[in-house]
Chain A
Amino acid sequence: MIRFENVSVTYDGMAEPAVHGVDFEVPEGELVLLVGPSGVGKSTVLGAVSGLVPHFTGGTLHGRVTVAGRDTRTHKPRELADVVGTVGQDPLSHFVTDTVEDELAYGMESLGLPPDVMRRRVEETLDLLGLAGLRDRPIATLSGGQRQRVAIGSVLTPHPRVLVLDEPTSALDPAAAEEVLAVLQRLVHDLGTTVLLAEHRLERVVQYADRVALLPGPGERPWLGGPSEVMAVSPVCPPVVDLGRLAGWSPLPLTVRDARRAAGPLRDRLAGGRPPAREPGPPAPAPAARRLFPRGKPAAPAPAHVAEVRSLAVRRDRVQALRHVDLTVAPGETIALMGRNGAGKSTLLSALVGLVVPSSGSVRTGDAVPHRTRPRDLVRRVGLVPQEPRDLLYADTVAAECAAADGDAGAEPGTCRALLTELLPSVADETHPRDLSEGQRLTLALAVVLTARPPLLLLDEPTRGLDYAAKARLVTILRGLAAEGHAIVMATHDVELAAELAHRVVLLAEGEVIADGPAAEVVVASPSFAPQVAKILAPQQWLTVSQVREALDR
């Protein structure tokens, strides 16, 4: 169905090809998963299928890509629109119209299908994707999972034979991701659609793949194989595979179910041990000899809490975003805020930095009321890295950004750059922040925020768009900060991240706190928020592969 014949793509102005020697075939009706670290050209491979590479992006494509027998050299993207449906990373930038029903019809209108066919297919697609209740809704009011399903539906209505998806579940909470994947599963099984998708969150998708194409590194040849054989050697792999490799299971399990069936002996070996209880870091930063973030100020009598929220309620645009939320954050503590999209996680973080004004209740960070404090003073008490770290960055170069950060925070010149060098040694001063990878940009934003040395650090969806390596680096950095006595509150959908880092997990639903307790207890008790390792080794409370590894080494 899709055939790559020795394809390499070189973008204009680049010396090296973005991808090289791509040579594989995707047969009809298969779901093929494209995996690899960030920046190896996954999006380029996907774009080549729809013809957007090179017709839209520019650059030179050597070799040949044929889709359903059509050569993309001679067919422009619009002439492939009836056989290939493409959904990009951000569904919002995919929408042309403003309501769900019109959006589903848009592609068919462009293709000139007769009105009765359009009507029938719109109804069918609404049912297939469970969107019937949303048909008249403006797209702007939909949640992330709903938007993603509408985006998929909008390319399904012309009945394409190939569906190309770039990170369809990265921005979604676990339940919404399940919904989208169930839809894909249904398309592959019932309609015989060929699906090619790229995804960082392998723990969510790898079990659905018929085959996996691995791009091991930039410019290296991709390798296509069965999921378990590729996963056995892949540099990126989900926790279930990592655990399987650690325990030496063969064949390598890809699903929690298979792993559980193989895990009996491992559970026995681990039966005596207990995961080390996670204690929050030292309450006040100790003046140690070498510290990641040296502080000039002598340790004042630290307040018991760096943040305190009492029966907070927030209304935004007639929506009750939060109600009766109580939360205290102790120094050195890491808290994961979890819950589905729209549960109020971001609003709670915004309230902690004074971006939203509480309609009742109180918020205090340290000794300040955030929304009544001047921004200059507030940055010394609390720092937030927003969902899109790029929002924080204005300057043209990394050096200018760091200098501006020193100015904003009133810190000594060079503070930010020193922090950045410690977190991310390889970044040159002249780089434009836009040219950094997602992980590097996040780290830069983190350094900018830390320049003012806030005792409370807030992170909104920090792992969105990060591959496993970048995530591991982030975990190391955040662990270091917590050990320094920084309190960290992060809103995240990434259960594995929460399992790695959090001392406490706070679950939000409909603006209320529905669970608040030690990470192990809260996540293990919830089927959708439990990490894979916990599911495999339940009832034992192991959360991460590294815990298991340490226990086995002892």
Chain B
Amino acid sequence: MASFRSRGHDSPPNRGQSCRWGGTGGRGGTPQTPGRATPPAQRQHWHRHRPPLHPGAWWLWALSLGTAATRTTNPLLLALLITVSAYVVATRRPHAPWSRSYGAFVKLALAVLLVRLAFAVLLGSPIPGTHVLVHLPEVPLPHWAQGIRLGGKVTAEALVFALYDALRLATLLICVGAANALANPSRLLKSLPGALYELGVAVVVALTFAPHLIADVQRLRAARRLRGRHDSGVRGLLQVGLPVLEGALERSVALAAAMDARGYGRTAAVPPAVRRATAALTLGGLLGVCAGTYGLLTAEGGAYGLPVLLAGVAAALGGLRLGGRRTLRTRYRPDPWGARAWLVTASGVAVAALLTLAASRDPAALHPGVVPLVAPALPLWPAAAVLIGLLPALVTPAPEPTDPRKEPTT
């Protein structure tokens, strides 16, 4: 940073340009007043004075909330969890393409809810109930389909049970959606260990390809309209399929050429001994993980299961670390795992831990009964624990407002 600050070569034509583009770039809602001219170095500093949170922290936070959701079926607590995650998403979601996925996850969660309820209505449920809401005509099924019921009476208990159950899954999905919206997937992949770097690049390229494919489909459907054909319907979509795939293939070949020319896949010379050790460690480690898991899951192997699993994990990690020596690659501005990341992770973990504790201490409050039907009550302490999950909305930097005006139209 020091060397950069001393540089200060911002020649006049250049400054004019950066001003011009900066104006349309739309970072920062506070326009710089000309009277308060900041030197270049300081201005750069102003750009990124609060680095974005490590994406891993967001994922841990969201997964912890999801874990907490699996500990309870209390709809009030689940609703509170959804509200907490939604609030954090609403206040901290950056203006980026990937963060629009939250809406898709919410829709998916709703769909799950509806499908589960529909099944409960149509297929009945093993929950014994007395409050019959409606009698559906029952379809007689042959004897080999015993145990399956189609239609019949629909009880309030069965519906409520299905609702609680589905709400839990929906909450989990919404939490995953929150992680997707808050954390930049490509930055998360950048944090992969060096040996997995090429895998990470493959995923990043795939992620950036998806929007291109969608744009291609739109363009080609427009072109169908120009030819005087109908652009809607499944047939229209199928007919543009081949050109879209062709375009995608051509683009990937061009990208592969560009990546090759930019040094992708350069490897360092590694002594054969290290290479062999890497292979042995990785393979042995994976075998150990398999054996250890098997041991843990079977009744007899309880004694050796855990140590073998741990040894396997350690060996595999060692293999990854050694394998990283083959790649020359260095990392540009890796996301720091700072105090904020710790706080965000801790807030999520705390929610999960406290709800787990509450579930074992007071199962009745976290799993309100459905037979007999009772109104769920909001248990005070678990609810307070869930509110800890709001911490990220306070400690993380707000997303930079963007100016939606300047975007290319093509």
A residues sitting closer than 8 Å to B (CB atoms) are 50-52, 55-57, 76-82, 84, 86, 88, 90, 92-98, 101-102, 105-116, 118-120, 122-124, 127-128, 130-138, 140-144, 146, 154-155, 158, 179, 182, 316-321, 341-342, 344, 346-347, 350, 353-355, 374-376, 378-379, 383-384, 386-388, 391-392, 394, 404-405, 408-409, 448-449, 452
Contact = CB atoms under 8 A, between A and B. Distances in A.
B230 A133 contact: no
B270 interface: no
Contacts of A143: 408
B115 to A, nearest CB: 31
A35 to B, nearest CB: 23
A319 B186 contact: no
B225 A105 contact: no
B257 A56 contact: yes
A177 to B, nearest CB: 14
A114 B263 contact: no
A374 B229 CA distance: 9
Nearest to B330: A112
B3 A120 contact: yes
Nearest to A118: B332
Contact of A130 (B4, B18, B96): B18
Contacts of B208: 95-98
Given A81-B266, A96-B205, A112-B328, A135 B211 contact: no
Contacts of B407: 141, 317, 319, 342
Contacts, number: 232
A170 to B, nearest CB: 15
A-B pairs, 6 with minimum CB distance: A133-B22, A81-B263, A130-B17, A112-B328, A105-B332, A379-B228
B22 to A, nearest CB: 3
Nearest to A379: B228
Contact of B331 (A109, A136, A375, A452): A109
B27 A133 contact: yes
B239 A394 contact: yes
A151 to B, nearest CB: 9
B103 interface: no
A106 B404 contact: no
B333 interface: yes
A240 B116 CA distance: 74
Nearest to B43: A132
Interface in B332-371: 332-333
B21 A378 contact: no
A378 B9 CA distance: 57
B329 A109 contact: yes
A56 B253 CA distance: 10
B168 to A, nearest CB: 34
Contact of B330 (A52, A118, A350, A408): A118
Contacts of A375: 224-231
B258 A88 contact: yes
A76 B25 CA distance: 38
A50 B261 CA distance: 7
B243 interface: yes
B254 A88 contact: yes
Contact of B226 (A106, A136, A383): A383
A319 B409 contact: yes
* Majority-rule SS of B interface residues: helix
Contacts of B272: none
B255 A321 contact: no
11 contacts: A82-B263, A88-B258, A108-B330, A118-B333, A127-B40, A133-B22, A136-B48, A319-B407, A386-B222, A387-B410, A394-B239
A392 B226 contact: yes
B332 A108 contact: yes
A112 B24 CA distance: 34
Q: Which of B186, B256, B262 has the most CB of A within 10 A?
A: B262
Interface in B227-286: 227-231, 239, 242-243, 251, 254-266, 268
A78 B47 contact: no
B290 to A, nearest CB: 34
B264 to A, nearest CB: 5
A391 B260 contact: no
Contact of B18 (A80, A102, A133, A354): A133
B38 to A, nearest CB: 13
Interface residues of B, number: 77
Given A136-B27, A394-B243, 12 more contacts: A79-B266, A81-B266, A102-B186, A119-B1, A119-B333, A123-B4, A133-B18, A136-B48, A319-B406, A319-B409, A375-B230, A384-B226
Contacts of A449: 226
B130 interface: no
Nearest to B251: A93
A78 B266 contact: yes
A484 B329 CA distance: 62
Contacts of B400: 136
Interface string B189-219: 0000000000001001101100110000001
Q: Which of A98, A383, A387 has the most CB of B within 10 A?
A: A98
A138 B239 CA distance: 31
B10 interface: yes
Given A106-B262, A115-B331, A409 B228 contact: yes
Contact of A93 (B230, B254, B329): B254
B186 to A, nearest CB: 6
Given A96-B204, A112-B329, A130-B18, A379 B227 contact: yes
A110 B259 CA distance: 9
B97 interface: yes
Contacts of B266: 78-79, 81, 110-112
Contacts of B22: 132-134
A154 B263 CA distance: 12
Given A135-B47, A409-B228, A98 B260 contact: no
Contact of A96 (B19, B20, B224, B259): B259
Contacts of A114: 330
B36 interface: no
B298 interface: no
B409 A321 contact: yes
A316 B226 contact: no
Contacts of B18: 127, 130-133
Contacts of A118: 330, 332-333
Contact of B258 (A51, A86, A102, A141): A86
B25 A96 contact: no
B44 A123 contact: yes
B349 to A, nearest CB: 30
Contacts of B47: 135-136
A347 B14 contact: no
B7 A124 contact: yes
A193 B164 CA distance: 67
Contacts of A110: 262-266, 328-329
Given A81-B261, A111-B263, A96 B255 contact: yes
Nearest to A81: B263
Given A144-B408, A347-B409, A452 B329 contact: no
A312 to B, nearest CB: 14
B227 A405 contact: yes
Nearest to A82: B263
